[in-house]
Amino acid sequence: MTSDRKRLHHVVCWAWYAHLKPWIRLTGETAETTAKSLAATMGLLAVHDEIQEEVYQQIVSVLSGQDPKFEDYTKLEKVLAVFYEDIRMFPAGHVLIREAAKDTVIDVPKPVGQECTIPIPIPKGFQIVVDMVGVLLGTLKNLKSTSHRGDM
């Protein structure tokens, strides 16, 4: 690996940590989830050379050969976009659990091709468990069925 590519990996890891630092301080958690997400990010960058190059060029442009400073983090928009795409596609946790703070109604869309939604009342205090993998797979299925792109 060239020194430039090592620098890319160093900055991506650094930016990932900077993004999570407040959460780490708050909870003390992240070992497995951070490792999984960072590995997926590096894997996606390795597979998508063109995106890796865009991220690399932005890092070179922002850092200008200097070591990164915390203030540089907000300027690395493409790095952050890669992280968000990674955690969207490969959630570190497989479920999301939330408790309703007040009575509410969730409008759940019907399957593709059917109009309208199904209203589901959620009472205050009710816990909702969302299958993150199912959400992603459902989204991908819908994208494939409505996409004009041939690569999906």
Residues 71 and 106 placed together within one structural domain of the fold: no
Residue range 24-52, pLDDT digits in tens: 444 445 566 777 788 888 888 888 889 98
pLDDT tens for 110-150 read 877 788 888 999 999 999 888 877 777 665 555 555 444 44
With H, G, I as helix, E, B as strand and everything else as coil, classify residue 4.
helix
* 107 and 53 in a common domain: no
Q: Are residues 10 and 71 in the same domain?
A: yes
Distance between CA atoms of 60 and 6, rounded to whole angstroms?
12
77-89 and 49-63 are packed helices; what angle lies between their axes, rounded to 10 degrees? Answer: 140
Question: Which domain does 25 fall in, by range?
Answer: 3-89
| Number of residues written out for the chain | 152
d(CA 120, CA 115): 16
The predicted model scores a pTM of 0.53
- Domain total of the chain: 2
Rg (CA), the chain: 19
Handedness of CA 122, 126, 130, 131 (dihedral sign): negative
